[in-house]
Amino acid sequence: MGLTQLQKLELNKRVDKILHAPANALIRGQQLEIAFAADLSGDIEYVCSSIKDAVTSLKAHDKIFQNVRSNMVYWNYNQITTKVTPMSFIQMGRAFENKQENIGVDDRTSEKAEAAAITDRKPDNKTICVDNYPKIDVLCEYLKLYHARCRCILVFTDRPYEEFAKQTFDTADIEKTIQGLNPFLKYRLLVITRDKMLSGSEFMMKLTQSRNQTKKN
């Protein structure tokens, strides 16, 4: 099971809001580009179904999605990779046909950066290794560096919101996450958990609140 009917309606509205935001306007003649980021640390089948449902819902909602350049971002424990994947392929489930092969191969480069390499500097390639569990700060950095052309980035996880939030605020580098969201990603990001959706701006607000609370303590 993927997205419910209510979730599909909310997704359509939130994506509309992202694409029509003044800070996120397309340049005349520029093709719309979108990215679907899949959290592979949990129930992959659920995430796959949710992304397929999202694509189907968006294409039925607005004809603009009939001609879109789309990317699959595979976000796993030990690395993040990207594959340019037509929305029609995603609808057919082909984005997850060979999960291990897809996760390990990046369309832009096959090289991998060690996790330590991203602690103090920007990575010089487009596959980033991470430690033990998917980190949202690493994902935001990756998206900021390599998907700046995407006007909408949808992050799918099988975790309930409370679990996602707890893991994010307990394990992520809050400052790096905020840096990753600035200056433009916060206007383009939408996180879809099992029971709640969170825009990039909402996410930024919660991160800032968490940082300020930590400083007070």
Encode pLDDT of 19-51 as tens digits.
999 888 877 778 899 999 999 998 999 999 999
Please give the biggest Cα pair distance in the chain. Answer: 50
Q: Please give the structure tokens belonging to residue 133.
A: 């569990």
Residue 201 pLDDT level (bands cut at 50, 70, 90)? very high
Task: Determine which of 98-112, 180-194, 197-211 has the lowest per-residue pLDDT on average.
Answer: 98-112
Whole-model pTM: value is 0.85
Angstrom distance (rounded) from CA 76 to CA 134: 6
Q: Taking a C-beta distance cutoff of 8 angstroms, is the pair 36, 83 a contact?
A: no
In this prediction, residues 166-170 reach a mean pLDDT of: 83
At 126, the pLDDT band (50, 70, 90 cuts) reads low
- Kindly state the average pLDDT of the residues 49-67: 95
Tell me the three state secondary structure of residue 141: helix
For 24-121, strand residue ranges (E) read 33-39, 69-75, 80-84
